[in-house]
Each structure stands twice: as structure tokens, then as C-alpha cells.
């Protein structure tokens, strides 16, 4: 140990203050265990979601949707960003205080690097601290991917999602590189704030995981909002000018250019493992840089676990939370809970209206050999769902894929107002064997979005009678 270096011993060390690690650390501290949580940035207590992910972006969705035509775009945007920062600051401080105020928990701020498989060195502003622990959790999350496009990484107009939600100047013309969840959400947000938006997708289509009928409706919603979508786009270069960047791309073999004042890299996120010194700990990683784990989230060192985005699983906050349950079961439970227990995990893309899915699409169900019936209805035609008209959001479609032999729900896609809530009910029904007929015939409050199920599940449009 270096002469000026202090040391701590703990029952549990958590590297990264994300959702899963935070939940385990708090639970263990309340059991009286000595816990140390390390976070390298004082702007990230609580992890990605409350600071630069779910909370600020969904707050911006809400603010953008509330902008009236008479509201000046820049002024409305600047005020909205300020309000979002107030929310994230409140959450960040609450996360720090909630952990640091526990009697047996200590929060260290600084970069952590493994010395061996039970010890890390943390570079704090007060000096280095070595922490040794019986069990260690890696919970460092993920970082944005910058595509290998000439001139992009060094462009002064390049922004990540983190950069974009912290700037108070509304882009006049925003180019988005990547048509996945992140790209579509930011396209919808900034178009509603008043930016001109061009969305570049290298594939043949956006929403390519969806059935064609859903993808058509979803894409039309974006186009009708005024978002320009360029599919099959091969961006070859980004050139900086005095006040704009030039995006050079090939479209159907022709070179085209576009002048913008911001370029958002939305090509996904990769596990944040750089600089952790995992080799010194003997912790293996995958080819994609994720920490390799088994179904109990144990790494190649059984006393070291990896939770959340860093382990290469689905990049959702609620998956990280469920990871915490698995790890806690390993540490203080019967050790039986595993990632293989998960079924019917929902997901939501927060465009307007939201697009939510759970289970199989029609295409996936047919490819898997199921005999199915498909119930589908445009939101505007669902008689039992007056809420859509009440809130002036009748765009979208609801679709259920149902096993023809058992009446079990194989999957659902909900592109509608309140879809982010509705999908949780469908997922719960699927987990507990509630049939489509029982979901259809249930009693729901009125007027609500849930009562749409009374009609939609009866609206059978395709049946496989093989």
C-alpha cells in the first residue's frame, strides 16, 4: 500500500451507483453489513436512469408534447431543460443521501480499478483509497457508441444523448445517426420542440423488429410529425464548417449532403468496462466487452457479480432491478432465483403515442410453429376506448397474438396512448396464464385505456387453421 493511501474493508463492495447495485447495497446495509459504494462521477449517483436516461428523456417527452403553437421553441425548450435539471438534481441528491445516511454504508466518489479479485483502488479527490471486500458487484452501466464515420468523433457538432439533454440551445436542424429506440425517441422529442429532424438508419427500415402492419402505422406517425427518415443510408463523412456540419451520405448509390447544427450518435450503448482492471481480478468479458456472467449473475470469480447493462443483458432499468433480486437471493437467500426465470418482459419505445411490446410478434409466432389467431384494431376504431378521444390521441393500433389451441396470449403490441402502462397488465396476464378471453371479459374502469381490451381481443383479423 502507498504511504498516503487509506483503506477500507467491507462485506460488500459495489462499483457503480446504478439501479441494481444500489438496491443490493441498500438492502445489505439495512441488514447491518458493511457496504462501500463507489461512483466515479458526482453527477451519476443513482445511475443512468435518473440522471441521463429514463427520467430526463421522459420528462422531455412530456414537456415537448405540452408545447403549444404559440410557445416560442427556444424559450420553451430552455425552460423545459431547466425543469428537467431540477428533477434530476433532486433525484441525484436523494440517491446519495439515501445510501450515505445508512449506518453501515459508505459512498466513495472516484474511479475504481481492480488490484486483485478482492480489492479495488479508488482515486478520490482526497487521495487514493483501497477497498477490500468479501463480495463485489460490478454495476458500471454502459456508454454511448460513436459509429466509425470519418470526421464524426472529432466533430464539434457531435452530441451524445447525455450531451443533448444538458444543452439549453435547441438545435435548428438535428441529424440522428441510428433508427433504434434511442434515435426514434429523440427524433420525436426534438421535432415536437420545434427542431427540424433527419433520422438516418443504415438498415432497410426502422421498426424492423415489428410486424409490417405495426411498422407502417408507427412510421407514418413519425413522418406526419414532420420527421425526415432516410433508410438504407450509408453516412461516409461528417465535415465541420463555421456554424454547421455537413453530413455526407450515400442514398441509393447517390452521394448527398445535409447541413445540420447538431449530430446525435444514437447507434446504441456498450458495456462500460474500460479502465476497470478486470484482468487483474480474473474477470472474463465477452467479445462485445460485457462482463461474462452465468444465470445467477456470477462472473468467472464466483464472489464477483455483474448487474445491469454491464453484463450484456437487456438494457432496461427494470432488468437491472430484477438483477438485484437475483444477487440478493445469492447473498442472503436460498440461491435459486435466476435470469432464466424471467418471462414476458415488456418494453416501451417512448414516441408519441408510445409503442409497447411483450412476447412474440405475429411473425415470430408463425416462425416458431404456433397455430394462432391475430386480433388487431386501430385505436381510432376502438369503441370501448373513449379515453383516446378525450385526450385527443387516437393514433395507433393494438394487436394481440393468441394461441389458437390454448387461448393463451403469445404476445401483444400496443401503439397507443398509455401503452407503457397497458403492456404491464398484458405481461402479468401472460406470466400467470390468464387467457385472452379472460382478459377480454374483465371489468375495467371507464373511461380508461385498459377497457380497449374488451373490444380489441374480439377483433380477429387473421386465423391460422392449419
Structure confidence by residue, pLDDT tens digits, 410-461: 999 999 999 999 999 999 999 999 999 999 999 999 999 999 999 999 999 8
pLDDT more than 70, % of the chain: 99
230-249 average pLDDT score: 95
At residue 4 the predicted structure's pLDDT band, cuts being 50, 70 and 90, is low
pLDDT at 99 over 60: yes
pLDDT of residue 251: 86
pLDDT at 5 over 90: no
What is the topology classification, in CATH, of domain 158-267? Answer: FAD/NAD(P)-binding domain (3.50.50)
Q: Indicate if 85 belongs to the active site.
A: no
Mean pLDDT of the chain: 94
What are 353-382's pLDDT values in tens digits?
Answer: 999 999 999 999 999 999 999 999 999 999
At residue 296 the predicted structure's pLDDT band, cuts being 50, 70 and 90, is very high
Q: Which CATH number fits domain 6-143+270-341: 3.20.20.120, 3.40.50.1950, 3.50.50.60, 3.30.1700.10?
A: 3.50.50.60
pLDDT of residue 52: 78
At residue 308 the predicted structure's pLDDT band, cuts being 50, 70 and 90, is very high
338-359 average pLDDT score: 97
At residue 465 the predicted structure's pLDDT band, cuts being 50, 70 and 90, is low
pLDDT at 466 over 80: no
At residue 53 the predicted structure's pLDDT band, cuts being 50, 70 and 90, is confident
pLDDT at 328 over 60: yes
pLDDT at 1 over 60: no
What are 163-176's pLDDT values in tens digits?
Answer: 988 899 999 999 99
131-151 average pLDDT score: 96
At residue 123 the predicted structure's pLDDT band, cuts being 50, 70 and 90, is very high
Indicate which residue of 62, 111, 392, 446 is catalytic: 446
What is the CATH code for 347-463? 3.30.390.30
Q: Write out the residue limits of the CATH 3.30.390.30 domain(s) in the chain.
A: 347-463
pLDDT at 92 over 80: yes
pLDDT at 2 over 90: no
pLDDT of residue 87: 92
Secondary structure of the chain in HEC code, one letter for each residue: CCCCCEEEEEEEEEECCCHHHHHHHHHHHHCCCCEEEEECCCCCCCCHHHHHCHHHHHHHHHHHHCCCCCCCHHHHHHHHHHHHHHHHHHHHHHHHHHHHCCCCEEEEECEEEEEECCEEEEEECCEEEEEEEEEEEECCCEEECCCCCECCCCCCCEECHHHHHHCCCCCCEEEEECCCHHHHHHHHHHHHHCCEEEEEECCCCCCCCCCHHHHHHHHHHHHHCCCEEEECCEEEEEEECCCCEEEEEEECCEEEEEEECEEEECCCEEECCCCCCHHHHCCCECCCCCECCCCCCECCCCCEEECHHHHCCCCCHHHHHHHHHHHHHHHHCCCCCCHHHCCCCCEEECCCCCEEEEECCHHHHHHCCCCEEEEEEEHHHCCCCCHHHHCCCCCCEEEEEEECCCCCEEEEEEECCCHHHHHHHHHHHHHCCCCHHHHHHCCCCCCCCHHHHHHHCCCEEEECCC
Q: Write out the residue limits of the CATH 3.50.50.60 domain(s) in the chain.
A: 6-143+270-341, 158-267
At residue 253 the predicted structure's pLDDT band, cuts being 50, 70 and 90, is confident
Amino acid at each position: 500500500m502507498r504511504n498516503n493511501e487509506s483503506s477500507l474493508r467491507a462485506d460488500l463492495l459495489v462499483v457503480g451507483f446504478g439501479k441494481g447495485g444500489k438496491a443490493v447495497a441498500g438492502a445489505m446495509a439495512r441488514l447491518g453489513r458493511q457496504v462501500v459504494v463507489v461512483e466515479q462521477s458526482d453527477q451519476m449517483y443513482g445511475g443512468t436512469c435518473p440522471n441521463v436516461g429514463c427520467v430526463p428523456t421522459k420528462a422531455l417527452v412530456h414537456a415537448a408534447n405540452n408545447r403549444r403553437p404559440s410557445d416560442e421553441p427556444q424559450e420553451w425548450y430552455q425552460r423545459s431543460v431547466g425543469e428537467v435539471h431540477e428533477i434530476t438534481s433532486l433525484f441525484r441528491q436523494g440517491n446519495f443521501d439515501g445510501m450515505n445516511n445508512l449506518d453501515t454504508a459508505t459512498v466513495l466518489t472516484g474511479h475504481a480499478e481492480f488490484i486483485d479479485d478482492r480489492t479495488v483502488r479508488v482515486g478520490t479527490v482526497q487521495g487514493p483509497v483501497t477497498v477490500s471486500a468479501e463480495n463485489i458487484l460490478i454495476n458500471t452501466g454502459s456508454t454511448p457508441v460513436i459509429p466509425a464515420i470519418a470526421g464524426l468523433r472529432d466533430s464539434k457538432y457531435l452530441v451524445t444523448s447525455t450531451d443533448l439533454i444538458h444543452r439549453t440551445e435547441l438545435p435548428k436542424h438535428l441529424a440522428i445517426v441510428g433508427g433504434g429506440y434511442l434515435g426514434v425517441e429523440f427524433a420525436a422529442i426534438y421535432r415536437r420542440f420545434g427542431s427540424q429532424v433527419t433520422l438516418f438508419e443504415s438498415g432497410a427500415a426502422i421498426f424492423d423488429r415489428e410486424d409490417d402492419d405495426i411498422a407502417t402505422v408507427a412510421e407514418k406517425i413519425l413522418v406526419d410529425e414532420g420527421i425526415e427518415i432516410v433508410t438504407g443510408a450509408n453516412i461516409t463523412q461528417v465535415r465541420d464548417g463555421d456554424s454547421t456540419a455537413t453530413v455526407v451520405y450515400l442514398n441509393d448509390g447517390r452521394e448527398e449532403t445535409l447541413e445540420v447544427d447538431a449530430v446525435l450518435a444514437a447507434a446504441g450503448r456498450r458495456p462500460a468496462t474500460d479502465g476497470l482492471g478486470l484482468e487483474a481480478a480474473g474477470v472474463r468479458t465477452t467479445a462485445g466487452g460485457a462482463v461474462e456472467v452465468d444465470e445467477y449473475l456470477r462472473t468467472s470469480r464466483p464472489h464477483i457479480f455483474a448487474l445491469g447493462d454491464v453484463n450484456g443483458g437487456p438494457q432496461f432499468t427494470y432488468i437491472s432491478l430484477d438483477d438485484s433480486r437475483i444477487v440478493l437471493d445469492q447473498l442472503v437467500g436460498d440461491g435459486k432465483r435466476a435470469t432464466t426465470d424471467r418471462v414476458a418482459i415488456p418494453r416501451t419505445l417512448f414516441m408519441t403515442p408510445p409503442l409497447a411490446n411483450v412476447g412474440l410478434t405475429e411473425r415470430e409466432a408463425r416462425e416458431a410453429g404456433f397455430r394462432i389467431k391475430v386480433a388487431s384494431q386501430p385505436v381510432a376504431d376502438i369503441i370501448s376506448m373513449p379515453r383516446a378521444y378525450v385526450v385527443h390521441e387516437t393514433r395507433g393500433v393494438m394487436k394481440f397474438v393468441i394461441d389458437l389451441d390454448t387461448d393463451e396470449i403469445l404476445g401483444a403490441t400496443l401503439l397507443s396512448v398509455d401503452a407503457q402502462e397497458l403492456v404491464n397488465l398484458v405481461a402479468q396476464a401472460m406470466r400467470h396464464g390468464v387467457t385472452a378471453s379472460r382478459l377480454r371479459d374483465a371489468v375495467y374502469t371507464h373511461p380508461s385505456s385498459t377497457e380497449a381490451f374488451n373490444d380489441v381481443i374480439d377483433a380477429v383479423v387473421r386465423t391460422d387453421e392449419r
